[in-house]
Structure 1
Amino acid sequence: MSLQEVTEQELLESLQDNSSAKAVYFYTGLCGTCQLGERMLEIALVAAPSIRVYKININYAPLLRDKWKISSVPALVLLEHGAPVQTEYAMRSVDHLYTLLTKHFSSPK
């Protein structure tokens, strides 16, 4: 399981290696829905230990927020080759997140 907190600069550097699929979870500290979404994401990642998801506070990521047009939190952004391919705003269930992530990380890039 891996939900790794990063700064915007660290994430930008990580995106330069765009050979692998990535996912980024945007949140804010005082958002109760974000806390619930994060907990569901952590549970989904227990079942898929090889998947790494980056976590970033949207208030400290203005460049990516604007570039990727993140309109609210929580937001799970799926990336391919360093670019967003899907943004999920509704953290519906653990099962939904698990399915979303395993499909994304298992599909050929």
Structure 2
Amino acid sequence: MKDWTQTEFEQFIQNRGTGLMYFYTPLCGTCLMASKMLEVVQKLYPKLPLGKADLNYMPGLAEGLEIKSVPCLLLISGGEIVEKIYAFHSVPFLHEQIQQKIV
């Protein structure tokens, strides 16, 4: 996963990108587990852009996107957020959501 700045995320949306954006905070234990799941997801979808960002550094963006908690995974298709996932459940669950919503 590549760290994205707010500008990179906004450009991805403006360019009608399709991919995943993962928001976390470093002290969140659930976020560490979610990060490990996303490493597997990234291997399943090596060509699908997957950005990540520490939400502590983007409070305005978090408010604008109405992100309620971390971890939060945005599924983006054609520059539109089609799903926000807060409960990651499992890698197969994430795989299914990606298949249904953006691939």
TM-score of the aligned structures, taking structure 1 as reference length: 0.84
Query: Structure 1: any 5+ residue segments left out of the alignment?
Result: none
CA–CA separation in structure 1 for the residues paired with 2:62 and 2:56:
9
Give the 3-state SS of the residue equivalent to 1:54 in structure 2. strand
CA–CA separation in structure 2 for the residues paired with 1:66 and 1:83:
17
Q: How many residues align?
A: 103
Task: Give how far 1:38 is off.
Answer: 0.8
Give the 3-state SS of the residue equivalent to 1:101 in structure 2. helix
Q: Deviations over 1:12-32 (max 9, x none)?
A: 1222101x3222100001111
TM-score of the aligned structures, taking structure 2 as reference length: 0.88
Contact 2:18/2:48 (CA < 8 Å) preserved in 1? no
Query: Structure 2: any 5+ residue segments left out of the alignment?
Result: none
CA–CA separation in structure 2 for the residues paired with 1:84 and 1:78:
6
Give the 3-state SS of the residue equivalent to 1:97 in structure 2. helix
Q: Deviations over 1:22-65 (max 9, x none)?
A: 22100001111001001011112212222221101111112321
1:4 aligned residue (2, 5, 30): 2
1:14 aligned residue (1, 12, 15): 12
Structure 1 residue ranges, 4+ long, deviating more than 4 angstroms after superposition: none
Aligned to 2:47: 50
The percentage of aligned residue pairs carrying the same residue is 33
Structure 2 counterparts to residues 1-109 of structure 1, below 5 A: 3-18=1-16, 20-106=17-103
Contact 2:82/2:101 (CA < 8 Å) preserved in 1? no
Task: Give how far 1:99 is off.
Answer: 1.6
